[in-house]
Structure 1
Amino acid sequence: MRGSRPAPASSPQLPPSPAASPRVPSAPSSRRAIGVDVARAVALIGMISVHVFPESNDEDVMTLAFAVFGGRAAALFAVLAGVSIAFVEKRSRGQLYGRTLAADRAALVVRGLLIILVGLLLGHADSTIVTIIPYFGVLFLLAVPFYGRSSRFLLISAPLFAVLGPVLRHVLGGTAPEQLDPEADYTLSTAFGQPVPFAVDMLLTGYYPALMWMAYICVGMVIGRQMLTSVKVALALVGWGTALAAAMWVLSKVLLGPAGGMERLVAATPEYTRAEIAGQLAYGPDGVTMPDTTWWWLAAVSPYSSTPLNILHNLGAAVAALGIMLLLTRRGGAVFSPFAAIGAMTLTLYSAHVIVESLEVLDEDKPMVSLWIQVISFMLFALMWRSCMGRGPLETIVSDASDWVRTRIRTPRERPRAPREAPGARWRPGRRRRAGSGRAAASTAGSRRAASGPARSSPATPTPDPEEKRP
């Protein structure tokens, strides 16, 4: 980037109500596909590569790391976040309504808030990396109303986010409020001290605007509901993803080439030369956003530009990459186990990467050495931690907190009931009860009721017939 669970504790489930049917069909249970964790590892390694390698070499040629992973690695990470949300849906076995739905959504809110907290704490590291973590926390919060929705609803919402979000961003232009230092990461102090710029940046004008990146979350949720161990599903992901990525790339080249888009960009943006405009189309915006001098800027597919074509292109590339990982990991699970260990604790390892970069302990002039040192170190740490402790440290905190909230809401609270007294067992303290007094009292009360007419119903427990046999 330019600037980057075990099932919850069992709880009693309410019986399904005929009036409220589940919105998400229950998927057949299957073992978790190792390819998902391996894909997360690929996304993390790709983001590290973009951070340690320059965008271009000394001959002004784009580096391989930026050409492959620039913008696409972060998009893959966002799609996989949607997949993880769908895994939580599967645990509810389709009973996404009532108390279960409320509990899962509350747990998602807790997860998002904790991730935002981690991202703001990383902002204090003063790294040259634009930390993606707080944006991901906002994505989890925005996903709450979409949790439990049908796949059709999600697939309709995804292109709307991809198109309407960039349009709104372009319309606002430079009128949106900005923080005092646009180049700095948000911290706890700046986020609470400047809440409006923080919200606008996270949602619309930042490096990873959540309103547009919700397209990745929606598609990821749909993918996560599928049988990811199926070859047919993996092939479909590769085919559809490749087709979408290629189509958006070709469409951008046509619009900015034969359709005359490049000439309109040059005419509408005199502050940039043709070479500078070509550089932004290849490497992405000079600042946070692309220029807003003409609508033709939305035809770009540049990395980190967050245009409609860029978002859809990255979405297709991420879907295809996930399908490839699912196919590759069907055999040889032991070979991919180290990468799966990395993918199982990406929040912890990404945070460690930001801290390492802020300390400047690695030589920036040797990016390949820096990449290998971090990847090997993270792999060894992930393998040892998983064998000894299980989930990563940050993943454990986030997961346990969200699971605790989910369990508290799912489990109905039972009101304490007063102990029931045996019929005819009441007498005043200090007064001895005589034999036969209960039967005589009942006979007297019965005669009084007979004389005064039918009795009214009372919530008190009626006195039993002495001749009635107890079971």
Structure 2
Amino acid sequence: MNQSKTRITAFDFARALAIFGMIIVNYKIAMQAEHSGPKWLQSIAGLFEGRASALFVLLAGIGVALMTSKARSSMSRELIRQSRMGLYKRAAFLFIAGVLLLFMEWSADILHYYAVFMLVAAVLITVSDRLIIVLFLTILSLSQVFLLLFDYSKGWNSNFTVYTDFWTLEGFARNLLFNGFHPLFPWLCFFLIGLWIGRKGWITNKNRSKLLLNALLGTVIFESMSYILVKWTSPSLGSEAALYLFGTKPMPPTMLYVLSGISSALAIIAVSLYIVDKWEKFALTQAIIYTGQLSFTHYYGHVVIGLGLLQLIGYLENGSLAFAVAYGSLYFVMAIAFSYMWRKQISRGPIELLMRKLC
């Protein structure tokens, strides 16, 4: 099997897994069911928090690196201009799509942040790999400092479900940069490391064992560091402050969360390489790959259709964690079936087709 083809389809497979995780997390948030249900189910559902979205953004960085590789390697002014225009158009499309979801009162939208990632990518097409790493380290460090300097809770209601001044200039900027669901400081780090990894081109079947081992090792190391630092500083700082500074949950997004999230995302990509290489011809594997290729359609659909149905029947804010997980899993199964049938007829998903036509 062609190594390049396997790698690309493995990214699609991993993207589908990211969509599944995002569906579970978002349904749990929408139903306000994070703390309901048995502890074991809370622990399982909690594994997806901030990890699925991190994988999604990291894969976006890899995808942009691959998409702009020809322009970067040739340094052709015309190809660079075309690549930048394409990214600008995608940014505009994603921003509008995200704002539409925000108007529907979906405050956990990731697309308007994604739009800014595309703008950053357009600027960085011709910069060196070293500069990307410098930017990554700078943003990662500043993000941790910002948690000390600024009030992370500003703009949020008491249970972090409503951002009270989101539609003001100050509130929107604060949410976008610092304390929204996926703020640029530090979520841009996931995109930048994906951009850097995509440029290096070392995510292949040949390197997958090393990638998986290092990624798992990194996850264990950063999670262990978090556990030790929280336990060590809790007596002096208090458990809440210790978790605020050294936890690995996505809110607030600490330095250790970002490093652990990158490691776990790379582990999922390595596993996806194994699965696709061995079982790509299986119908289920192919259907999951197709689901990843329709990721924007399914992201939009899980909010508009999935949550829209619950709101219609009056169950949106009354569901248990068990129901949120079951409903999210059922929705994902239906998304897989839809993707398989759609892709047998049409090469791109509905929203992907629209974006392709406009961008």
- For Structure 1 versus Structure 2, the TM-score category normalised by the shorter chain is 0.7 to 0.9
Q: Per-residue CA shift, 1:99-138, capped at 9, x if unaligned?
A: 32222122212111211111111123335x6222222222
Q: Per-residue CA shift, 1:348-398, capped at 9, x if unaligned?
A: 111110112133168634335413431122112212222222111211222
Distance 1:172 1:368, change over 3 A: closer
> Of 295, 307, 316, which residue of structure 2 is paired with 1:346?
295
The CA RMSD measured in Å over matched residues stands at 3.0
Task: Quote the residue 1:35 is aligned against.
Answer: 10
Task: Quote the residue 1:367 is aligned against.
Answer: 324
Contact 1:348 1:394 in 2 (8 A): yes
Q: Per-residue CA shift, 1:431-467, capped at 9, x if unaligned?
A: xxxxxxxxxxxxxxxxxxxxxxxxxxxxxxxxxxxxx
Distance 1:65 1:357, change over 3 A: farther
Tell me, in whole angstroms, the C-alpha distance in 2 between the residues paired with 1:196 and 1:77: 28
Distance 1:223 1:354, change over 3 A: same
Is 1:110 the counterpart of 2:89? The answer is yes
Q: Tell me the CA shift for residue 242 of structure 1.
A: 1.9
Is 1:357 the counterpart of 2:307? The answer is yes
Task: Quote the residue 1:217 is aligned against.
Answer: 191
Task: Quote the residue 1:240 is aligned against.
Answer: 214
> Of 124, 130, 134, which residue of structure 2 is paired with 1:152?
130
Is 1:170 the counterpart of 2:148? The answer is yes
Tell me, in whole angstroms, the C-alpha distance in 2 between the residues paired with 1:349 and 1:63: 24
Letter in 1 for 2:101: L
Tell me, in whole angstroms, the C-alpha distance in 1 between the residues paired with 2:345 and 2:308: 29
Q: Tell me the CA shift for residue 341 of structure 1.
A: 0.7
| TM-score under structure 2 length normalisation | 0.84
> Of 132, 136, 139, which residue of structure 2 is paired with 1:161?
139
Structure 2 unmatched runs, 5+: none
Distance 1:163 1:378, change over 3 A: same
Is 1:46 the counterpart of 2:21? The answer is yes
Is 1:325 the counterpart of 2:275? The answer is no
Q: Per-residue CA shift, 1:218-248, capped at 9, x if unaligned?
A: 1111222344673233223213322222221
Q: Tell me the CA shift for residue 68 of structure 1.
A: 2.1
Letter in 2 for 1:358: G
Contact 2:177 2:185 in 1 (8 A): yes
Distance 1:229 1:251, change over 3 A: closer
Contact 2:175 2:183 in 1 (8 A): yes
Letter in 2 for 1:172: F
Q: Tell me the CA shift for residue 56 of structure 1.
A: 4.2
Q: How do residues 412-431 of structure 1 correspond to structure 2 at under 5 angstroms?
A: none
Q: Which has the higher helix share?
A: 2
Contact 1:34 1:340 in 2 (8 A): yes
Task: Quote the residue 1:14 is aligned against.
Answer: none
Is 1:264 the counterpart of 2:236? The answer is yes
Contact 1:204 1:211 in 2 (8 A): yes
Task: Quote the residue 2:47 is aligned against.
Answer: 68
Task: Quote the residue 1:5 is aligned against.
Answer: none
Bigger radius of gyration: 1
Tell me, in whole angstroms, the C-alpha distance in 1 between the residues paired with 2:202 and 2:356: 23
SS in 2 for 1:143: helix
Is 1:397 the counterpart of 2:354? The answer is yes
Q: Tell me the CA shift for residue 60 of structure 1.
A: 4.3
SS in 2 for 1:331: helix
Tell me, in whole angstroms, the C-alpha distance in 2 between the residues paired with 1:151 and 1:324: 26
Contact 2:140 2:186 in 1 (8 A): yes
Task: Quote the residue 1:84 is aligned against.
Answer: 63
Letter in 1 for 2:127: R
SS in 1 for 2:4: coil
Distance 1:170 1:93, change over 3 A: closer
Tell me, in whole angstroms, the C-alpha distance in 1 between the residues paired with 2:279 and 2:3: 22
Q: Tell me the CA shift for residue 252 of structure 1.
A: 1.3
Q: Tell me the CA shift for residue 84 of structure 1.
A: 1.0
Q: How do residues 117-156 of structure 1 correspond to structure 2 at under 5 angstroms?
A: 117-127=96-106, 130-156=108-134
Q: Per-residue CA shift, 1:139-188, capped at 9, x if unaligned?
A: 22233222232323223322322221231243122697789xx84479xx
SS in 2 for 1:94: helix
Task: Quote the residue 2:251 is aligned against.
Answer: 304
Task: Quote the residue 1:456 is aligned against.
Answer: none
Greater shift after overlay, 309-318 or 355-364? 355-364
Tell me, in whole angstroms, the C-alpha distance in 2 between the residues paired with 1:200 and 1:106: 27
Distance 1:184 1:296, change over 3 A: closer
Letter in 2 for 1:166: Q
Percent of paired sites with the same residue = 22
Tell me, in whole angstroms, the C-alpha distance in 1 between the residues paired with 2:3 and 2:41: 45
> Of 182, 191, 197, which residue of structure 2 is paired with 1:208?
182
Distance 1:354 1:65, change over 3 A: farther
Contact 1:46 1:65 in 2 (8 A): no
Tell me, in whole angstroms, the C-alpha distance in 2 between the residues paired with 1:174 and 1:227: 37
Which gives a bigger RCO, structure 1 or 2 (Cα 8 Å, sep 6+)? 2
Q: Tell me the CA shift for residue 50 of structure 1.
A: 2.1
Contact 1:238 1:323 in 2 (8 A): yes
Tell me, in whole angstroms, the C-alpha distance in 1 between the residues paired with 2:3 and 2:77: 22
Task: Quote the residue 1:464 is aligned against.
Answer: none
Q: How many residues align?
A: 342
Tell me, in whole angstroms, the C-alpha distance in 1 between the residues paired with 2:219 and 2:237: 24
